[in-house]
Amino acid sequence: MMAEQLDGEWDYLVVGAGSAGCVLANRLTEDGRSRVLLLEAGGPDRHPYLHVPAGFLKTFRDPRFNWCFETEPGPEVDGRRIFFPRGKVLGGSSAINGHLWVRGQARDFDTWAQRGCRGWSYADVLPFFRQAENRSAGADAWRGTGGPQHVSDIHARHPLCEAFLAGAAELGLPRNPDYNGARQEGAFYYQRSIRNGRRVSAATAFLRPALRRPNLRVETHAQAVRIELEGRRATAVVFRQGGRLLRATARREVVLAAGAIGSPHLLQLSGIGPADPLRAAGVPPAHELPGVGEGLQDHYALRVARRVTGAGTLNERARGLRLGAEIVAWLASRRGLLAFSPAHAGVFLRSMPHLEEPDLQFVFTPASYQEGGVTGVLEREPGMTLGVWQLRPESRGHVRLRGPDPAVAPMIQPNYLAAPEDRAAAVAGLRWARRLLGTKALARFRGPETVPGGCCEEDEALLAHARARGSTVYHAAGTCRMGVDPQSVVAPDLRVHGLGALRIADASVMPSLVSANTNAATIMIAEKAASMIRPA
């Protein structure tokens, strides 16, 4: 089937309107001259679930907004396939995520620079973090105001959260007023991408203000199927939209912002990647790059949950007449249950004293969920949940093409718990979670443990629980790694090695996973990418 030529001329083609793509669309059109075409496989972000913060629970498995991927069976997770959500809508995963705004540690970015990615140290990237932000608590040496991305503090402090933070202090973890500031370690309330009780996705923050510009065009329900090359230069993108196959050309550059799953998948569909696997999948190699799709990293979450006595939790507020009252409260004041992010409070800590930086992240919620997760259906009985994950996992996986059909999802194999260090960290994380929920400050609220339960006491039992019940934290990264070694895919200027006019600017380029939720760092990458792409 021949592709029809899309009308119009474009300086830049941006593939993917997620966190990175929305930033690029905004920044590359600011000059009023550069013409940008933004392609998004999903649809518009009009549905209320995408704007009410608690709508997160509804979009989590909704194929209208979510690719709803699954991983391959994991050897170290009891052969399970794990549900693997990715945003498929304007705003991408920032439109369906848990709202948490977490940058990571300075050392994360300094390590990138030390591995050959010059220009990506913490001092180099800090201005781009600050440029993106509109911090409700004000600016300082680390934080920014006046940027498109609003970052707010939680609007109400639940008694269980206050007790949890007091308990953390008992264990030597005092409150940290800003974990995105001078230091990460400590206990805190999470900062959120929420403003006046509404989600602030990348589409809300960056794309919507740019839609008025005549030099930006956005095409939704437009799934890219391949990048066209002329020699060693990217010149066009072919995409499917409404039963038609269309072709758009770029005078300057094609920029991939389809994420840690979508970007390597599109490269492989275009014949860019490891040659032998491409041939095996029925795609003729056009440009051999062995690192495409390799090195997948993700955070693997575990939970401890307990019943609650002597205090109300979100569970009781989410049903019947009380839920009706919460809906009225949100409509009237943008407050209450519907304005909360899934996690309220948290902790960054070092699991062992000799470590220089925190290696575990915790998320505390005054609620509990069926099957012990942190998403889905709330239990009827009062409960509280503490999730934990290792910040810098050693396990590496891959994203690989199944065949030449773009409609077939790729193979996603994170290889959770493959590294022995990750298995040890899982056990340490569960033990620390129990300690944090076992403090004196929480004693008057503490009911019996429901997850993993009293039978899990020995290390072997805790590891078995981790294998059987852990899940993704939706922080996929590293599949088109930035670097200067033969396995890297892009150079420090984000240009694909060996090809002209083709860059990647999303979480796939992270040389190593940040010690944080990935949305803030992805937006920073796109801000920095735009500064490198724009003509001087």
Rounded Cα gap, residues 60 and 87, in angstroms: 9
Rounded Cα gap, residues 78 and 107, in angstroms: 34
Rounded Cα gap, residues 358 and 355, in angstroms: 7
Coil, helix or strand for 455?
coil
DSSP for residue 131: H
Rounded Cα gap, residues 246 and 237, in angstroms: 8
Question: Chain centroid to CA 433: how far?
Answer: 23
Rounded Cα gap, residues 436 and 414, in angstroms: 29
475 is catalytic: yes
Q: Which residue has the tokens 């973890």?
A: 173
The active-site residue out of 265, 344, 398, 475 is 475
Coil, helix or strand for 274?
coil
Give me the DSSP letters along 76-91. Answer: TTTT---EE--B-BTT
Helices (H) and strands (E) in the chain, counts: 14, 26
Type and span of the H or E element at 315: helix 314-317
CA angle 327–330–334, rounded 5-degree value: 170
Type and span of the H or E element at 126: helix 122-132
239 strand-pairing partners? 224, 246
Whether the upstream peptide bond of residue 452 has omega within 30° of 0, thus cis, is yes
Assigned token pair, 499 = 């090809």
For 2-40, letters b (16+ CB in 10 Å) and e give ebeebeeebbbbbbbbbbbbbbbbbbbbeeeebbbbbbb
Residue 41: count of CB within 10 angstroms of its CB = 24
**Do 480 and 290 contact (CB within 8 A), yes or no?**
no
The Cα-based distances of 197 to 154, 171, 332, 415, 474 in angstroms read 10, 33, 11, 37, 23
Q: Give the active site residues.
A: 475
